[in-house]
Amino acid sequence: MGNAASSMEMSPAKEIKSQPTASSPLPPKQPAPPKQPMPSSGELEERFTHVLNSMNLPPDKMKLLSQYDNEKKWELICDQERFQVKNPPSAYIQKLKSYLDTGAFSGKFKRRAQESTQILRELEISLRTNYIGWVQEFLNEENKGLDVLVDYLAFAQCSVTYDMDSTDNGSPGSDKGKALDRSMEDLSRSSNSPTQGSSKARHLTVRLNLAHSRKALRNSRIVSQKDDVHVCIMCLRAIMNYQSGFSLVMNHPACVNEITLSLNNKNPRTKALVLELLAAVCLVRGGHDIILAAFDNFKEVCGEKNRFEKLMEYFRNEDCNIDFMVACMQFINIVVHSVENMNFRVFLQYEFTQLGLDDYLEKLRYSESDKLQVQIQAYLDNIFDVGALLEDTETKNAVLEHVEDLQEEVGQLAEKLQDAENESMAKVAELEKQLCQSRREVEALRARTTGNEQDRTNSPRSPSLLQMPQPQGSLQYPALERKLEELEDKGLIRILRGPDGDVIVGIEVIPVIVEASGASSVTIDAPSSTSTDFPSPSTSPVPPPAPEIPPAPPLPFTKDSSSLVPSISQEEAPPLPPPAPPLPGTSVPPPAPPLPVAGTTAPPPPPPPPLLPADGPVPPPPPPPPMADGSNLPGVTVTPAVKIKKPIQTKFRMPIFNWVALKPNQINGTVFNELNDEKVLQELDMNDFEEQFKTRAQGQARELPALKAKASQKKAPSKVMLIECNRAKNLAITLRKAGLSIDGICKAIQVYDLQSLSLDFLELLMRFIPTEYELTVIRKYEKEQRPLDELSDEDQFMIKFSKIPRLAERMNIMTFLGNFGDTVQLLLPQLNSIIAASMSLKASTKLRQILEIVLAFGNYLNSSKRGAAYGFRLQSLDALLDMKSTDRKQTLLHYIVRVIQEKYSDLTNFANDLHFLEKAAAVSLDSVLQDVRGLQKGMELTRKEFMRQDDSAVLKDFLKANTEVMEKLQADGKTAQEAYESTVEYFGENPKTTPPTMFFPTFVRFVKAYKKAEEDIQLWKKQEAAAKVEEVNSPNQEEKAAPKSPTHKAKRQQMDLISELKKKQLVKEPLIYEEKDGAIEDIITGLRNQPYRRGDTGRHSARKRAVGQTLQVTADISL
The enclosing H or E element of 213 equals helix 213-224
Q: Is residue 605 part of a domain?
A: yes
Half-sphere exposure at residue 454, Cβ-oriented, CA atoms within 13 angstroms: 14
d(CA 449, CA 93) in angstroms, rounded, equals 124
Residue 742 near residue 765 (C-beta atoms within 8 A): no
Bridge partners of 512? 524
CB atoms near residue 572 (< 10 Å)? 11
Per cent of the chain over pLDDT 90 is 17
Instruction: Provide φ and ψ at 303, rounded to 5°.
Output: 70, 35
Q: What is the CA 156 to chain-centroid distance, rounded?
A: 66
Give the model's pLDDT for residue 571.
39
> What is the per-residue pLDDT across 362-374, written as a single tens digit (0 to 9) for each?
888 888 888 888 8
Q: Is residue 335 part of a domain?
A: no
Residue 2 near residue 95 (C-beta atoms within 8 A): no
Instruction: Name the 3-class secondary structure at 36.
Output: coil
Q: Are residues 418 and 508 in the same domain?
A: no
CB atoms near residue 577 (< 10 Å)? 21
Residue 308 near residue 352 (C-beta atoms within 8 A): yes
d(CA 925, CA 927) in angstroms, rounded, equals 5
- Cβ-in-10-Å burial (0-12, 13-18, 19+) of 977 comes to buried
Q: Is residue 105 part of a domain?
A: no
Give the predicted TM-score (pTM) of the model: 0.43
- The residue among 402, 433, 458 that closes a domain is 458
1054 against 1029, higher pLDDT: 1029
Give the model's pLDDT for residue 923.
92
- The residue among 458, 484, 502 that closes a domain is 458
Query: Residue 322 above 80 pLDDT?
Result: yes
Residue 164 near residue 302 (C-beta atoms within 8 A): yes
Q: Are residues 395 and 539 in the same domain?
A: no
Q: Are residues 518 and 630 in the same domain?
A: yes
875 against 1079, higher pLDDT: 875
CB atoms near residue 270 (< 10 Å)? 23
How confident is residue 1101, by pLDDT bands cut at 50, 70 and 90? Answer: very low
How confident is residue 554, by pLDDT bands cut at 50, 70 and 90? Answer: very low
Query: Residue 760 above 60 pLDDT?
Result: yes
Q: Which domain holds residue 450?
A: 387-458
Query: Residue 897 above 60 pLDDT?
Result: yes
> What is the per-residue pLDDT across 915-931, written as a single tens digit (0 to 9) for each?
899 999 999 999 999 99
User: 167-181, 265-279, 299-313: which range is least confident on average?
Assistant: 167-181
> What is the per-residue pLDDT across 940-979, written as a single tens digit (0 to 9) for each?
988 888 888 777 888 888 888 889 999 999 999 999 999 9
Paired sense of beta strands 504-509 and 493-497, if any:
antiparallel
Instruction: Provide φ and ψ at 609, rounded to 5°.
Output: -70, 145
Give the model's pLDDT for residue 788.
74
Paired sense of beta strands 522-524 and 504-509, if any:
unpaired
Q: What is the mean pLDDT of the chain?
A: 72
d(CA 1095, CA 1068) in angstroms, rounded, equals 4
Q: Is residue 530 part of a domain?
A: yes
Q: Are residues 451 and 560 in the same domain?
A: no
CA distances from 977 to 424, 669, 835 (A): 20, 18, 8
d(CA 242, CA 264) in angstroms, rounded, equals 27
Radius of gyration of the chain measured on its C-alpha atoms: 53
For the chain, how many structural domains are there in total?
A: 2
Q: What counts of helices (H) and strands (E) characterise the chain?
A: 39, 4
Q: Are residues 601 and 480 in the same domain?
A: yes
- The residue among 403, 433, 458 that closes a domain is 458
How confident is residue 113, by pLDDT bands cut at 50, 70 and 90? Answer: low
CA distances from 1028 to 390, 585, 688, 894, 1038 (A): 55, 94, 22, 22, 12
How confident is residue 986, by pLDDT bands cut at 50, 70 and 90? Answer: very high
Q: Is residue 394 part of a domain?
A: yes
Q: Which candidate, 1112, 1118, 1119, places its Cα nearest to that of 373?
A: 1112
d(CA 412, CA 406) in angstroms, rounded, equals 10
d(CA 601, CA 578) in angstroms, rounded, equals 16
Q: Are residues 406 and 485 in the same domain?
A: no
DSSP code for 872: B
Q: Are residues 503 and 571 in the same domain?
A: yes
Average the pLDDT over 1043-1058 and give the result.
Answer: 58
Residue 869 near residue 859 (C-beta atoms within 8 A): yes
d(CA 939, CA 823) in angstroms, rounded, equals 13
Q: Is residue 35 part of a domain?
A: no
Q: Are residues 596 and 503 in the same domain?
A: yes
Q: Is residue 771 part of a domain?
A: no
d(CA 835, CA 829) in angstroms, rounded, equals 10
Bridge partners of 514? 522
d(CA 451, CA 443) in angstroms, rounded, equals 12
d(CA 196, CA 449) in angstroms, rounded, equals 109
Q: Which candidate, 79, 61, 56, places its Cα nearest to that of 127?
A: 56
d(CA 870, CA 675) in angstroms, rounded, equals 9
Give the model's pLDDT for residue 123.
86
Q: Which candidate, 490, 677, 496, places its Cα nearest to that of 592?
A: 490
> What is the per-residue pLDDT across 675-733, written as a single tens digit (0 to 9) for each?
888 888 888 888 888 888 887 644 443 343 433 333 344 444 433 334 567 878 888 88
H/E/C letters for each residue in 356-415?
CHHHHHHHHHHCCCHHHHHHHHHHHHHCCCHHHHHHHHHHHHHHHHHHHHHHHHHHHHHH
Residues 6+ apart with CB under 8 A from 804: 746, 749, 750, 810
Q: Are residues 423 and 516 in the same domain?
A: no
Q: Are residues 505 and 637 in the same domain?
A: yes
Q: Is residue 499 part of a domain?
A: yes
Residue 51 near residue 76 (C-beta atoms within 8 A): yes
AA identity, residue 243: Q
Q: Are residues 454 and 487 in the same domain?
A: no
Give the model's pLDDT for residue 171.
42
The enclosing H or E element of 136 equals helix 132-139
Q: Are residues 589 and 633 in the same domain?
A: yes
Residue 237 near residue 277 (C-beta atoms within 8 A): yes
Residues 6+ apart with CB under 8 A from 1025: none
Average the pLDDT over 349-363 and give the result.
Answer: 90
Instruction: Name the 3-class secondary structure at 504.
Output: strand
